[in-house]
Structure 1
Amino acid sequence: MLSPRKTALAIALGAATALLFTACGGNMDDSANNSAGSPPVTAADPSHGGAVSLRGIVYGAADTSVQPDAGVPITMMGQMRALFDLIKSAPDFTQVVMDLGDGSPVHVLDTNTGDKFLPGKLALGLSYILIDMKTKGDPKYADYLATYQKITTAMMTQMNGSDYMYANTSWGEYYYLVALNNFSAHGMLHEVFSDAMLTTLQNRLTFCDMFGADASGKTNTCPAAGVPIDVASLNTAQNYYAVSYGIAGLRQKLGWSNPTFSSATDPAVASMGARDALLYTLTNHIRNDSSGGFSDEASNTHTTYYDQARFDRYSTLLIGEVTERTLEMGNEANLTPELKSYLRKSVDLILPQLNADGQGFNYGRSIGPYGDTAFMEVLTAAANAGILSAQEMQVAYSFIYKSAYRFDTFWYDPTLPTPSVNMWVKGRGTDTYRGKPRVMGENFSLLHQYMYVNAWWDKLGFGGKAPMADSDLQAWLDAKPHYTLTWYNVPGDTAHPYSAALITVRDGKRVINLNLSQAPDYNSYTPYYPTPSSDKLVYGTTDLGYALLIPQVSYNGKTYIPVTYYKNLNVQETNGNVVVSFDTAKFRQATKNASYATDLDLQVHTVLTFSKGAMTRTDTLTSGTLAGNMTVETDFTSFADFQNTVANGDGFSVNYANSSATNYSTTGFDSCALSNFEMSGGVVNPLSTTPIGQLHSNFACKTQAFSLTGSTNRTLSWTLKYADLN
């Protein structure tokens, strides 16, 4: 017997056939509109009609197949069509399974995937295929349209009272509205959706679930008509002002009304429409929460200066999303010089990190393929906002091409039982937030990012154009400074007295990042440690912590780490070496959301030296009050295979083969041990799965118990040597 929820869904599936829709079709350009930027500056791609181009990877040939010499297994449109076919072939779409080959297939369209954006992601992703089929007069269009109507109706129709079978909050609402606007631009909106369904969507696709007391997203929490929403009542992270801004603007573009806002502290909000009130509030967030012009992603729930300052991928990406939403909804008039200046700050943080492999952020949370697309989205927004030089336009387009190529040849895995983007298996791991039950939605959202970016570059005149020659791109990258210091909080800012900054060091083709931010809620996790991050050399493990290249202290039965309270940051270049020094005023307990009352009165002066093919860290520990004994451990985990990793006879160094790392050595410790890091108790060690792949070995160095009294100190150091990147 079906459960009540399954019974309700079956009723909705039957009812969906009654919602067949009629209207005229169209063939309008679905590229983003009203863009600004430089004229095309790349040469036409001479190879097989544009195969070696961004469009060649995203769209491909006229039938969306892979063109000769494109070098990818499938186009992104091909991936989207394969997902549509997977859903269409299932007798019951809620039972669609994706198998990543790890022995636990996932029912990816079940109601309990945990992906509260799924209906919107699906509606948007599959819309690309419908629009393409309609434009080409594909004879199978009607069949695919019927499938689309059946699924979207079932997912979005009210089932039991005010309850819905599927949640569709925030991002899901935004994605759905993008799909509706794309259909509208092609004259297909009333062909795909009945008037009754559009009324349902108009009532449901609001930003109300992000404001007020109800954060479930399963009921419409908008107040009665004429009652404004308190703009300060956002019940999620402040970056979601950008999502609600996108929703309000896209509703307005469809001619739908929006709820209004009020503010107890700023009466100006009440005189604005919802779209502009949200942009106004979002601008204040960026302006007020970081003197460096970046978005502090902890500022909404943390109120003291030592309890804020999480700067990561989203701190840089947010202004890119705001710019893209502004252009997408036709609100260019409100893209102020102030907002453009924030966008330029993000560009200036990204440009020193660019590389010829299409890799993006390598620190912080929610990276992996999203680390790559963050660079791509910011650079695309900057191109459209007209703040890139002609040469930067070429570089940005070429990097984005490389990013698309990397997605298709690294992140997308056609060898899985169900071909898919892979963030979960074969040694890879991602945040709990993007857990494997969300695999279908992650495919949709990532593919959408590349598709909309490709549409923008087509609009800018780059459609089918070849990227810069690899030699020219590398020459531009080689001309970048040896190091770049980007402050999140400007020195001297009394509201943010602790140092928050990113140091990027370039060593040949290798990019090394040292990110210093307080990161409340996340500072116990390795991606937020004050340690270098670099592709295939040093990488954090999501949602987990261990002594990765920092002095991890054990004291009175608890573990402490130096992951906030940074002061006196100084960066200098001497004789070709980049020397970074800073002090850490206290050690934090190494547990998530540890109370600041448990901080340990232990200080460390840290010096990191980056030289050709090597990096060295020296930590000098002192304390004026700790009387008991402590021990310190520092680990280095390597991507090198364990079988060819050799501990040297000195007991304090190790050699690596077949990897970027070649040697790791330490001083000041009493013992070190090499171990297999990949397996623990016969299963994969969760600490070993990074976003980009498996760590295989660990070299753990420890001290014996010692005390710090009076003016005594303890100095520990490590040196990591590595090979040049090819």
Structure 2
Amino acid sequence: MLSSKKTTLAFALSAATALLFSACGDGVNDASSSSAGNSPTNSPAPTPDPSKNGAISLHGIVYGAADTSVPTGAGVPITMMGQMRALFDLIRKSSDFTQVVMDLGDGSPVHVLDTNTGDKFLPGKLALGLSWILIDMKTKGDPAYADYLATYQKITIAMMTQMTGSNYTYANTSWGEYYYLVALNNFQAHGMLNEVFSDAMLKTLQARLNFCDMFGADASGKTDTCPAAGTPIDVASLNTAQNYYAVSYGIAGLRQKLGWSNPTFSSTTDATVATMNARDALLYTLTKHIRNDSSGGFSDEASNTHTTYYDQARYDRYSTLLIGEVTERTLEMGNQANLTPELKSYLRNSVNLILPQLNTNGEGFNYGRSIGPYGDSAFMEVLTAAANAGVLTDQEMKVAYTYIYKSALRFSNFWYDPTLPTPSVNMWVKGRGTDSYRGKPRVMGENFSLLHQYMYVNAWWDKLGFNGKAPLSDTDMQAYLDALPHYTLTWYNQPTDTAHPYSAALITVRDGKRVINLNLSQAPDYNSYTPYYPAPSSDNLAYGTTDLGYALLIPQVTYNGKTYIPVTYYKNLNVQETNGQVVVTFDTAKFRQAAKNALYTTDLDLQVHTVMTFSKGTMTRTDTLSSGTLTGNLAVETDYTSFADFQNTTANSDGYSVNYTNSPATNYAAMGFDSCALSQFDTVNGATNPLSTTPIGQLHSNFACTTNPFALTGGATRKLSWTLKYADPA
């Protein structure tokens, strides 16, 4: 049973909050004092065999041996540097790089470097990803360096100068500009900038790599042309999501580090902006966004397009990651003097949200959009930023490093698939699915950006003194995790925040090795999709499908021919641990129409009181529906979809329960419904069912329970519930 002692997660900031900056201003301290101290238990950590070049280490997985090959015992098919080199070779060996094809074995190979991939960051991703190889080859005096450099320069000329009419053939906006500037600064740090780029190309790059495409608009709705010198840009004119302030901040800071000038900013609401350089004005504006859009220091990712409290509150992976990215940008541009105590407190809040979710398998976010490998790497990036900003304890440093090692191991053995016709990260085939934003035509760019994340993180931990060091043993890591509270309640908006009267919070429950998240987020632009439902998310047990919705573990209502779901307007959230159980209760004031960006005028006057109970190996949800005004009949459906294979899934004779084998789920039972039906879920009419392809793999069976039409008049209520039983992860 779970302990009955109620606990909370309250990590105090370390007394030693000084930044780990080196005297030369590279943002880190080469000394290993930050990692000193005892491990979480007295059990010794595994010691790498010197003959294996630190194989049991983050560096061993990411960089490998001196020639970037896999060290003996590293446990991966190829190092990440090896993956990057293979992609470079794929491009280099093609007579026309625009015709390079990546084949994921699904019958539709992709021309990954043509102009129609939909990846407007592609030139920057290539410039940055391939720069890792060039720098490594140059440093080692590799005789093939000149050949690879020539390929790099050919790509640069084609992508950054060729025009179609008045437009560049290849778009390279926002993130692409930032990525490119990271590459330029890395080349400069290694004395290679003027060797890789001619003066004329640097002049072209200086003109193209700016943040102006994110601000203002011309007759076509957007412009990447900066105003004339001396003409300021209104800092409030950002024409994309609020988190792009961080991207523009990175661009401005890295331009400044190169000695390039930036446009200036003005503000219609805050004259302070006009007194700052662009880098600092953007950080100032970004800080205000985080401060004002949640009382917990998390970024509301819906606030750029919605203006009232009930429209806001999309909290997901990026809400937690943003402050980690801001910290990383601040360090890489040498702006650490502006990493204020306020920003570090926000970073610590993100750490406090992440720590209870850690595990020995390297798994990250399991709810919200753009997760999959990015869900894992988001934990890694936040923890790395926190390590560099001095907001982790010595023990937490070891725990963070161990998680990151496990994340790299998971990337190399789960997300990367060497058996594909073109070895690649896999987010698209073999039962996996991702957001349309990261569609398969972007596969080349996704490989580069993910590999870069691990490479830069490894470089930081090398400088922090962990080069070649072993992680904690699984025993020690699990002992640390077992000592964490059984539940953690993280408020995005505090209940006392009158500007945000609806509850927005994350509840994380730990049951042995299993991590279960219940995310309550209004998400107006995504709440019709399962990853944003107020339903539990847990690895290989309960998982949403990107960009799609169905009645996954919630009471989905049909009324007057339309479908409604309880996915916003949460109130009265309460979490208690009593008698060995974690009990979560909350009310939902209205049901929303099940459509993306549904109008609020279509809300249904239907209320539900929800009780979720978590105990050892079991979770139960009970929903009590009521309404004071509905006069017609409504019907309810709730589904549970399982990763267990359909052939070994058995519906019981009671008609309301199912048994599973070879799966973490062992039994699911529903109560209060009129009928239930078990069906195969992975295919429809011989084709893959798109609802079945989650980021981590395919769902195979569905157990759908429904009611007959009924009325809720005269104060009537209807109680519906389900119970899911599961085994502890291996």
For the criterion TM > 0.5, the same-fold answer is: yes
CA shift for structure 1 position 40: 3.2
User: What's the offset of the Cα at 1:39?
Assistant: 2.7
Whether the 8 Å contact between 2:216 and 2:223 is mirrored in structure 1 is no
Q: Measured at CA, do residues 665 and 453 of structure 1 come closer, stay the same or move farther in structure 2, by a change above 3 Å?
A: same
1:49 deviation in Å? 2.0
Alignment partners' CA distance in 2, 1:32 and 1:694: 47
Structure 2 Cα separation of the partners of residues 255 and 218 of structure 1: 27
Q: Distance in 2 between matches of 1:539 and 1:188?
A: 46
Within the candidate set 188, 195, 199, 1:195 is matched to 199
CA–CA distance in 2 between the matches of 1:203 and 1:338? 34
Give 3-state SS (helix, strand or coil) of 1:546's partner: coil
State how far apart, in whole Å, the 1-side matches of 2:208 and 2:69 are. Answer: 37
Does residue 34 of structure 1 match 2:38? no
1:564 and 1:586 in contact (8 A); partners too? yes
Amino acid at match of 2:49: P
Q: Does structure 2 conserve the Cα–Cα contact (< 8 Å) formed by 1:32 and 1:456?
A: no
SS state of the match for residue 494, structure 1?
coil
Q: How far apart are 1:34 and its partner, in Å?
A: 2.4
**What amino acid is aligned across from residue 549 of structure 1 in structure 2?**
L
- Is this contact kept in 2: 1:365–1:527, CA < 8 A? yes
> 1:442-453 maps to which residues of 2 (within 5 A)?
442-453=446-457
Q: What are the Cα deviations for residues 669-701 of structure 1, in whole angstroms up to 9, with x where unaligned?
A: 000000000000110000000000000000000
> How far apart in 2 are the matches of 1:433 and 1:588?
24
Instruction: Name the structure 2 match of 1:332.
Output: 336
Contact 1:550-1:635 within 8 A present in 2 as well:
yes
**Structure 1, residues 85-113: CA drift from partner, whole Å, max 9, x if none?**
00011111000000000000000000010
Q: Judge conservation of contact 1:162–1:219 (CA < 8 Å) in 2.
A: no
Aligned match for 1:373, one of 377, 382, 385: 377
Name the CA shift for 1:33/1:217 in 2 (closer, same or farther; >3 Å): farther
How far apart, in 2, do the equivalents of 1:538 and 1:247 lie?
39
Tell me how far apart the structure 2 counterparts of residues 32 and 472 of structure 1 sit (CA, whole Å).
Answer: 35
* 2:671 counterpart residue number: 667
Contact 2:214–2:224 under 8 Å retained in 1: no
Alpha-carbon distance, 1:228 to partner: 0.3
Structure-to-structure mapping, 1:267-282, within 5 angstroms: 267-282=271-286
Counterpart in the other structure of 2:703: 699
1:387, 1:657 → 2: CA distance? 44
Q: Determine if contact 1:317/1:374 at 8 Å carries over to the other structure.
A: yes
1: CA distance, partners of 2:564 / 2:25: 50
Residue deviations 1:460-489 (CA, integer Å, cap 9, x gap): 000000001110001000100000000000
Deviant stretches of 4+, over 3 Å:
40-44, 214-220
Percent identity for Structure 1 against Structure 2: 84
Q: Secondary structure at the match of 1:450?
A: helix
Report the equivalent of 1:247: 251
The residue type equivalent to 2:28 in the other structure is S
Q: What amino acid sits opposite 1:427 in the alignment?
A: G
> RMSD in angstroms over aligned alpha carbons?
1.4
* Partners of 1:467 and 1:603 in 2: CA distance: 49
Partner SS for 1:460: helix
Q: 2:659 aligns with which of 647, 655, 665?
A: 655
Shift of 1:32: 9.1
Structure 1 residue 499: Cα displacement: 0.3
Q: For residues 120-170 of structure 1, what are the alpha-carbon distances to aligned partners after superposition, in whole Å with 9 as ceiling and x for unaligned?
A: 000000000000000010000000000000011100004145310000000
Which residue pairs with 2:9 in the alignment?
none
Contact 1:55-1:463 at 8 Å conserved across structures: yes
Instruction: Please report how far the alpha carbon of residue 527 of structure 1 lies from its aligned counterpart in structure 2 after TM superposition.
Output: 0.1
Equivalents in 2 of 1:148, 1:681: separation in Å? 47
Change over 3 Å in CA distance of 1:612–1:602 after alignment to 2: same
Residues 104 and 214 of structure 1: is their aligned pair in 2 closer, same or farther, counting only changes over 3 Å? farther
For the 8 Å contact 1:485–1:504, the answer to whether it is kept is: yes
Q: Tell whether the 8 Å contact from 1:313 to 1:374 is kept in structure 2 after alignment.
A: yes
| Alignment-derived partner of residue 45 in structure 1 | 48
The farther-off stretch of 157-166 and 69-78 is: 157-166
Residue 60 of structure 2 corresponds to residue 56 of structure 1: yes
Shift of residue 216, structure 1, vs aligned partner: 8.2
**Counterpart residue type for residue 39 of structure 1:** S
Q: How does 1:131-530 map to 2 (within 5 A)?
A: 131-214=135-218, 220-530=224-534
Which deviations, in whole Å up to 9, do the C-alpha atoms of 1:568-616 show, x marking residues without a partner? 0000001110000000000000011110000000000000000000000
**Aligned residue number for residue 19 of structure 1:** none
Corresponding residue number in structure 1 for 2:104: 100
Q: Which residue of 1 aligns with 2:576?
A: 572
State the alpha-carbon separation in 1 of the partners of residues 559 and 704 from structure 2.
18
SS at match of 2:177: helix
Cα distance, 1:291 vs structure 2: 0.8
Whichever residue aligns with residue 596 of structure 1, its letter is Y
Among candidates 540, 557, 576, match of residue 561 of structure 2: 557
For the Cα contact (< 8 Å) 1:537–1:660, is it kept in 2?
yes
- CA deviations over 1:67-99 (Å, ceiling 9, x no partner): 100000000000000000000111110000000
The code of the aligned residue for 1:432 comes to S
Read off the aligned partner of 2:27 and give its amino acid letter: N
Matches within 5 A, 1:57-136: 57-136=61-140
Question: What is the match of residue 681 of structure 1?
Answer: 685
5+ residue gaps, structure 1: 1-28
SS at match of 2:207: helix
Residues 1:628 and 2:621 aligned together: no
